[in-house]
Structure 1
């Protein structure tokens, strides 16, 4: 459709969208006339804006007001008129530096990446990753405080995942070490899904050979790692309060709250991940184009997370108002996805 438009229509649509992204306010013909390189009367501009409105690309929120872009107008702008910018060296260094700290586990890298995206974009950063039951290399129980311990599981690819456990009273460090050694021997090179039932059966048969407290620790570790919460995958959202900065009424506030609740739903989370399965790089979903954001009136810029073997292991992106600065956020999401992909093996 963009090829069928006159240069005048393209210029006016571009100015309306770019001004809307900056101010969030309707754009009038007098303002446009001052910004156009080729001078046109406000009357001529109004006629062109009326044509764009008839085509479904602009609309007037109030009588005698200026115009705002519709979702179709934003889509046309993004697909045909958007000039994607580039990150500054400071922005690239910030993303790389915060994500690339050595010794961090998979979850830590994802959390840091989400936080830096939120901070740089001024919107909400999001990461989603399915539960991956990878072959394991090592299991260890780390005492934290009386009654609490951390079970640390290291996959063969080097990814580290942690879970907090409630520990039985009177537990000793030697019992924790025994539990870790017991699981490491039986899980090495195998997935939890494959080995869990077998290990539980063995515990029932050989409790006399394993310290009673150590056996209880093993059972607790298997329970927390195999429960429903452990299998729902990873969803990290940072900067969700940024979404509230653009709301103008309580109805908008309620829509944002509903969005955050829907994101916590595992089915919706996996649906979000499906958006990137084509591995086509950064994708932009504007408003109702994505059912997840239809009621909230938000846009999503999302890219697949691909590991060093080019397998898609998740998705990372930014949620913001439909008037967010796409030209700035697109390269931000793209570069962050590349950095994280290099770090997760």
Structure 2
């Protein structure tokens, strides 16, 4: 697992400034927040601690933690809540990542395999998003970068004298069809010739790689094909390139209603609205994929640690999934409030990404 962390020197200095009692009180405050979302006061904390400490002593420790920027009081005479910096410090320094139970692993494995069997890649990814939402009680999110899929087969079929169907098949078994304008006077044999030439050079390549290869072989294309067949080769690749350029990625979000359960005020609803506005933008999608690609495994982002969630204050646990060439072709994860159960969700996201990747190989 990789994750953004506080400045290493700052983290070490903070750890050194906390004695065993301070660490224990800090951990109780954070764990209480992650569990209940409520401030923890000194009187209640004195009853929970295994060691006997007076509320006054606990308040002094809380004051020290507040001075370090790890906790804050939401209002006068309230207990304490962790700050965003405090949550990050807890995740980096104290949190122990749990492991999935055998039942949870079985559920993920069974549902991912079932969603892929006889179905398209989009169907599997949609089901993966729904699965993460159900297991985490957050919003499951999957980003698919379709332009990265490895190609297997292209075929042109004539529908009318000037209209044809271009069929593209990925190595994962997904099929896409596009209606294309055919050059005037094109024959069935020329359609077949263009298909054969493309298939001889695209297998196993992504769309971008296929276009680059055909461009490199431009003279060979002109030699091997007549003018109409050459035009079809260019049209077939350009058609998908154009559609992918308009939609470089596709976002699948399931479980938005789960996020509503955690709202406590109208202001929270506004933050949630901003979150989904951010996610629906092209820039937001690219950022989300970039976040996953920057690390080798699961990454944790808390609140405003990335631009995508700077306004909504949400947290994201995200991991990339890869194709048979180990290329990152998408990302999946869970979005929720900052009090996500990170220790449980991290292995859940990690294992789901592994299973999705295994279905693409």
Q: Aligning the two structures, in what range does the TM-score lie when normalised by the shorter sequence? A: 0.7 to 0.9
Are positions 1:253 and 2:269 aligned together?
yes
> How much has 1:108 moved relative to structure 2?
2.5
The 3-state SS of whatever aligns with 1:227 is helix
For 1:34, which of 47, 59, 69 is the aligned residue?
A: 47
Q: Number of residue pairs matched?
A: 320
Q: Distance in 1 between matches of 2:103 and 2:156?
A: 40
The 8 Å contact of residues 163 and 224 in structure 1, kept in 2 or not, is answered as: no
Structure 1: distance between partners of 2:191 and 2:278: 37
Give CA-to-partner distance per residue, 1:279-335, whole Å, 9 cap, x none.
331111100111111111111111121334432222211111001111111110111
Unaligned runs of 5+ in 1: 143-148, 169-174, 208-214
Q: In 2 relative to 1, CA 233–9 (structure 1 residues): closer, same or farther, beyond 3 Å?
A: same
Tell me the residue number matched to 1:60: 73
Whether the 8 Å CA contact 1:107–1:160 is kept in 2: the answer is no
- Rounded to whole Å, the distance in 2 between the matches of 1:204 and 1:254 is 60
- Check conservation: 2:139, 2:336, Cα contact below 8 A: yes
Q: Which residue of 1 aligns with 2:29?
A: 16
CA contact (8 A) 2:166 2:236 kept: no
Alignment of 1:114-133 (within 5 A): 114-133=129-148
Paired position in structure 2 for 1:72: 85
By how many angstroms is 1:159 displaced? 2.0
- CA distance in structure 1 between the aligned counterparts of 2:92 and 2:37, rounded to whole angstroms: 21
Alignment of 1:226-241 (within 5 A): 226-227=242-243, 231-241=247-257
1:185 to 2:196 alignment: yes
8 Å Cα contact 2:143/2:250 also seen in 1: yes
Q: Distance in 1 between matches of 2:100 and 2:226?
A: 58
Once residues 83 and 25 of structure 2 are traced to their aligned partners in structure 1, the CA distance between those partners, rounded to angstroms, is 14
Contact 1:139–1:181 under 8 Å retained in 2? no
Distance 1:180 1:95, change over 3 A: farther
Structure 1 SS opposite 2:284 = helix
Residue in structure 2 matching 1:291, options 307, 321, 325: 307
1:315 pairs with 2:334: no
Contact 2:166 2:179 (C-alpha < 8 Å) held by counterparts: no
Counterparts of 1:254 and 1:179 in 2: how far apart (Å)? 57
The equivalent of 1:211 in structure 2 is: none
Are 1:326 and 2:342 matched, yes or no? yes
Counterpart for residue 109 of structure 1? 124
Structure 1 residues 78 and 134: CA distance shift in structure 2, 3 A: closer
Deviation for aligned residue 1:183: 6.7
Secondary structure, in 3 states, of the residue corresponding to 2:269? Answer: helix
Aligned-pair CA distance for 1:116: 0.7
Counterpart for residue 171 of structure 1:
none
TM-score by length of 2: 0.77
When structure 1 is superposed on structure 2, of 305-314 and 332-341 the one drifting more is 305-314
Assess if the C-alpha contact under 8 Å between 2:167 and 2:178 holds in 1. no
CA, structure 1 residues 222+312, in 2 after alignment: closer, same or farther (shift >3 Å)?
closer
C-alpha contact 1:279 1:312 (8 A) present in aligned 2: no
Is 1:224–1:230's contact at 8 Å kept on the other side of the alignment? Answer: no
Cα separation, 2, equivalents of 1:300 and 1:249: 21
Select which of 106, 112, 135 maps to 1:93.
Answer: 106
Structure 2 unmatched runs, 5+: 1-13, 158-163, 182-186
Cα distance in structure 2, aligned partners of 1:219 and 1:195? 15
Q: Is the 8 A contact 1:246 1:321 kept in 2?
A: yes
Query: Superposition RMSD on alpha carbons, in Å?
Result: 3.4
